[in-house]
């Protein structure tokens, strides 16, 4: 197949969407498909055999890491040369709207996928009053597609309730070879967390340092557990404020890690804390679990699809006072139970490979290309 992606987020940015897209592209190309990616400028001109076309873009004022690219005639010309069988728009925004328009005007089957819970982000940037308007815009964009894919059952249900049609579930994936418990080491623990005593709880967060991730809610955990040490891996627009918030605590801002350094960070921590309540899935949770690191996470969005409370991690109600503190304590106090959680976390991650997720996606493409939209059994029923 000839598959064209339109995405507002791609390399060199580092986040869960980019991870899913790059792994998907790798497996599609390996399966013999031709892939063309339209994304904001700054990406390499090719990736694992796929063509990549960077489009001039401007940074989003509230979030400079996110760039908005305006569609232009060269995009339409490239689509004509490529002769796409299907267009897949990832998180339709400005560039994505261009993909939707091209799909409609050129009668190319259209798939859209929902990865970022943007309406819920607004309240963290003082724009909560715009949430109803944004839902209407998202509904108008997504309902142009023959198929809309979500990455968790919670998002399938919410988008359906919001009036978005033709929805199905795109299963999760993780690289269980790259992320593995064998990469744990005392040396990495020292590098991540600094000097510490045996028995000090070593807590890890990996992801964007941005307002919607609610990282400040980890601070009371450090107060309640004075021997705990925290490593924040990643970067983002909220870093300077977070450095002020966590000043005077045993917190280290590590910056971005990649490859074996990132996998080793997961494997070497005692617990992975993920307080965000706006996640459509949370791929970093699967990476942590693949590395055998038990997680403490908010019981919201797509997270319960991954984490089973008391089995492979601990969930808490983000609206409950001290919920994160109590869940972290619950995990850390169970020395034998924590080892069982590590094993269970790894076993859960082993169920989800990128090969299977991409094979499922190719099946969706073939269905849309070959037979048009045909209603599928509800993913909520299948799960």
Beta-bridge partners for 232: 205, 253
Give exposure, 282-301, as e/b (b: 16+ Cβ within 10 Å). Answer: bbbbbbbbbbbbbbbbbbbb
Do 115 and 222 belong together in one domain?
no
- Residues 218/273, Cβ–Cβ less than 8 Å: yes
pLDDT of residue 97: 94
Distance separating alpha carbons of residues 235 and 52, to the nearest angstrom: 25
Taking only the tens place, the pLDDT of each residue in 199-222 is 999 999 999 999 999 999 999 999
Regarding whether 164 and 209 lie in a shared domain, the answer is no
Residues 324 and 363 in one domain: no
My answer on whether 222 and 359 are in the same domain is no
Whether 224 and 334 share a structural domain: yes
CATH of the domain at 150: 3.40.50.2000
- Strands, DSSP E only, in 219-325? 229-233, 251-255, 271-274, 295-298, 313-316
pLDDT at 315 over 60: yes
Q: How far apart are CA 287 and CA 35, in angstroms?
A: 26
Q: Give the pLDDT confidence score for residue 371 in this predicted structure.
A: 62
* Separation CA 271–CA 329 (nearest Å): 10
Q: What pLDDT score does 186 carry?
A: 94
Residues in the chain: 383
> Rounded mean pLDDT of 7-16?
92
Averaged pLDDT of the chain: 92
Residue 178 pLDDT greater than 50, yes or no: yes
- Provide CB contacts within 8 A for 29, sequence distance 6+: 35, 48, 49, 50
Which residue do the tokens 């055998």 mark? Answer: 292
What pLDDT sits at residue 78? 97
Mean pLDDT of 28-42: 97
The parent domain of residue 330 ranges over 181-349
- 160 shares its domain with 107: yes
Contact 224, 249 (CB under 8 A): no
| Tens digits of residue pLDDT in 325-368 | 999 999 998 877 888 999 999 999 999 999 999 999 999 999 99
What pTM does this model have?
0.89
Verify that 236 and 151 share a domain, yes or no.
Answer: no
| Average pLDDT of the residues in 115-120 | 75
Q: In the numeric block, which tokens belong to residue 323?
A: 């919920």
| 62 confidence band (pLDDT: 50, 70, 90) | low
Are 189 and 147 in a shared domain?
A: no
- What's the structural domain count of the chain? 2
Q: What is the pLDDT of residue 71?
A: 85
Q: Are 329 and 368 within one domain?
A: no
Distance CA(121)–CA(160), nearest Å, equals 19
Are residues 211 and 357 located together in one domain of the fold?
no
Which tens digit of pLDDT belongs to each residue from 281-305? 889 999 999 999 999 999 999 999 9
Residue 375 has pLDDT above 60, yes or no: no
Give the pairing of strands 46-47 and 34-40: unpaired
Do residue 205 and residue 335 come from a single domain? yes
Same-domain pairing of 190 and 97: no
In the beta sheet, which residues pair with residue 37? 5, 52
């Amino acid at each position: 197949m000839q598959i064209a992606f339109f995405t507002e987020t791609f390399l060199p940015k580092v986040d869960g969407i980019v991870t899913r897209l790059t792994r998907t592209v790798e497996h599609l190309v390996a399966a013999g498909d031709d892939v063309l990616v339209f994304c904001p400028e700054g990406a390499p001109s090719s990736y694992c055999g796929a063509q990549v076309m960077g489009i001039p873009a401007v940074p989003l004022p509230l979030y400079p890491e996110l760039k908005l690219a305006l569609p232009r005639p060269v995009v339409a010309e490239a689509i004509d040369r490529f002769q796409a069988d299907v267009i897949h728009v990832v998180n339709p925004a400005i560039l994505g709207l261009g993909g939707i328009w091209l799909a409609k005007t050129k009668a190319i089957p259209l798939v859209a996928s929902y990865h970022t819970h943007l309406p819920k982000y607004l309240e963290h940037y003082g724009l909560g009053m715009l949430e109803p308007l944004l839902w209407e815009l998202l509904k108008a964009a997504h309902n142009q597609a023959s198929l809309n894919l979500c990455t968790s059952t919670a998002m399938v249900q919410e988008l359906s309730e919001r009036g978005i049609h033709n929805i199905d579930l795109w299963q999760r994936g993780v690289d269980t070879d790259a992320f593995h418990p064998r990469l744990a080491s005392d040396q990495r623990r020292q590098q991540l967390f600094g000097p510490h005593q045996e028995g000090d709880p070593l807590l890890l967060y990996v992801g964007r340092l941005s307002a919607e991730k609610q990282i400040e809610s980890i601070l009371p955990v450090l107060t309640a557990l004075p021997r705990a040490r925290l490593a924040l891996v990643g970067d983002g627009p909220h870093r300077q404020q977070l450095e002020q918030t966590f000043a005077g605590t045993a917190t280290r801002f590590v910056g971005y890690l990649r490859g074996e350094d990132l996998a080793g960070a997961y494997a070497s921590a005692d617990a992975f804390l993920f307080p965000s309540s706006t996640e459509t899935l949370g791929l970093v949770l699967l990476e942590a679990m693949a590395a055998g690191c038990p997680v403490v996470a908010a019981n919201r969005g797509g997270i319960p699809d991954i984490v089973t409370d008391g089995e492979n991690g601990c969930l808490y109600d983000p609206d409950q006072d001290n919920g994160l503190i109590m869940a972290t304590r619950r995990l850390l106090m169970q020395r034998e139970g924590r080892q069982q959680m590590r094993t269970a976390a790894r076993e859960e991650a082993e169920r989800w490979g990128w090969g299977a997720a991409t094979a499922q996606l190719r099946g969706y493409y073939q269905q849309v290309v070959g037979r048009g939209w045909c209603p599928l059994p509800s993913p909520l029923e299948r799960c």
